[in-house]
Amino acid sequence: MKVMITGGAGFIGSHLCARFLNDGHQVVAFDNLILGRREHLFPFAKNTNFAFVEADLIDLSTVRREMAGADLVVHMAANSDISQGAARTDVDMQNGTIATYNVLEAMRLNEVKQLLFASTSAIYGEASVKPTPESYGPLFPISFYGASKLACEAMISAFSHNCGIKAWMYRFANIVGSNSTHGAIHDFVARLVKEPTTLNVLGNGTQRKSYLHVSDCVEGMLYGYANVREDFSCLNLASEGVTNVRFIAEEVARQMGEATGVKPQVVFGEGDRGWVGDVPYTHLDGSAYARYGWKARMNSDEAVRQAIREVIAEKVARK
């Protein structure tokens, strides 16, 4: 099977490239490298089943051309830097909403009939029901990122129903692990590599979210592809439990101390948000997906601990 992975040079996209190649498929990674990294693709450079297209999804004719012959599109590209939306209100519109329209239009023109899509817990906004099920509404996201993803979900629904595209949409928890390009673990470790003695944390550390290890995220997406038979599905993809920022910061400091011999002091800020548009408490209800028989291997705290080990190994080794 030929699989086109948009955002293939990014964090989760690069793990998906590895997985589809290991399973013997042909993979085209499509990425403009605004956030992704070429080095994430180095392990596949000699694989004849792999091709990298450095291009922008805003360019519909290129997307259409590169998608020709694909059996499946895995659409991961987006602006994953949520805080950027408050400063530049068009960034999610371009790289999220319009890019997704172009992916769908290229699928229609190329008659590609299968789509896996990366949505997010951010579409729920500050939900009053926790854990939050897929049926929760009305949906009022509080970030431009969340608003864009909600628009993408709506557009996928319309394309799916009008053009016979089978779509699996996954509302991800916070994904953590190696190759990460952003997020609390990535930022904390990067800051300590620069300044090893003190870790300054945005917010008071009480923010709590569901964390899912990237290996479970990839397994979860592929499990749905193999086992969820509906033509259109939308499922939360999460692990059990939530983890707060205080736990993450202290665990990063502890593991950095072990890795480098310098145990940093952790200093918390004020307020319960890292940035404007940050949702201080998210907890996804994974019971709908559990009814299909899927369960993450690691709970939220285990995923965080494992990801910290992986990110420290990458960044301290790279230094």
Looking at the Cβ atoms of 222 and 259, the one nearer to ligand NAD is 222
- How far apart are alpha carbons 227 and 248 in whole angstroms? 34
Stretch that binds ligand NAD, among 54-62, 127-135, 156-164, 222-230 (CB under 6 A): 54-62
Instruction: Determine which residue in the list 27, 70, 74, 78 makes contact with ligand NAD, applying CB under 6 A.
Output: 78
Q: Is 205 in the site for ligand NAD (CB under 6 A)?
A: no
Contact indicator for 18, 74 with CB cutoff of 8 Å: no
What is the rounded CA–CA span in Å between residue 29 and residue 14? Answer: 8
102 binds ligand NAD (CB under 6 A): no
Stretch binding ligand NAD (CB under 6 A), from 41-49, 124-132, 174-182, 193-201: 174-182
Is residue 212 within 8 A of residue 296, CB to CB? The reply is: yes
Give DSSP secondary structure letters for 123-157: GG-S-SSSSBPTT--S---SSHHHHHHHHHHHHHH
Q: By CB under 6 A, tell whether 7 contacts ligand NAD.
A: yes
106 is a site residue for ligand NAD (CB under 6 A): no
Of the residues 124, 136, 145, 289, only one is catalytic, namely: 145
Does 308 sit near ligand NAD (CB under 6 A)?
no
Least distance to ligand NAD, CB of residue 105, Å: 14
Is 12 a binder of ligand NAD (CB under 6 A)? yes
H/E stretch holding 168: strand 166-172
- The number of residues that bind ligand NAD (CB under 6 A) is 29
Instruction: Please give the DSSP secondary-structure letter assigned to residue 250.
Output: H
Q: Is 277 in the site for ligand NAD (CB under 6 A)?
A: no
Q: For residues 266 and 249, what is the distance between their CA atoms, to the nearest angstrom?
A: 7
Q: Counting contacts by CB under 6 A, is residue 177 touching ligand NAD?
A: no
Under rule CB under 6 A, residue 181 binds ligand NAD? yes
Residues 92/144, Cβ–Cβ less than 8 Å? yes
Mask: binding to ligand NAD, 127-156, rule CB under 6 A, as x and -?
Answer: ------------------------------
User: 3 and 72 in contact (C-beta within 8 Å)?
Assistant: yes
Query: Which among 26-34, 136-144, 202-210, 283-291 is the span making contact with ligand NAD, rule CB under 6 A?
Result: 26-34
Is 32 a binding residue for ligand NAD by CB under 6 A? The answer is yes
What is the rounded distance in angstroms from the CA atom of residue 167 to the CA atom of residue 156? 7
Q: How far is the CB of 279 from ligand NAD (least distance, A)?
A: 12
Reference 114, options 210, 40, 224, 239; nearest CA is 224
The pair of three-digit structure tokens given for residue 264, joined into one six-digit string: 């940093």
Q: Which among 284, 144, 120, 309 has a CA at the least distance from the CA of 208? A: 284
| Binding range to ligand NAD, per CB under 6 A, among 52-60, 194-202, 259-267, 304-312 | 52-60
- The CA radius of gyration of the chain, in Å to the nearest whole number, is 19
- The least CB distance from residue 27 to ligand NAD, in Å, is 15
Among 10, 85, 141, 220, binds ligand NAD (CB under 6 A): 10
281 is catalytic: no
Instruction: Tell me the two tokens of residue 194.
Output: 């620069």
Phi, psi of 305 (to 5 degrees): -60, -45
Residues with catalytic function: 145
Per CB under 6 A, residues contacting ligand NAD are: 7, 9-13, 31-36, 56-58, 76-80, 95, 99, 118, 120, 172, 174-175, 181, 183
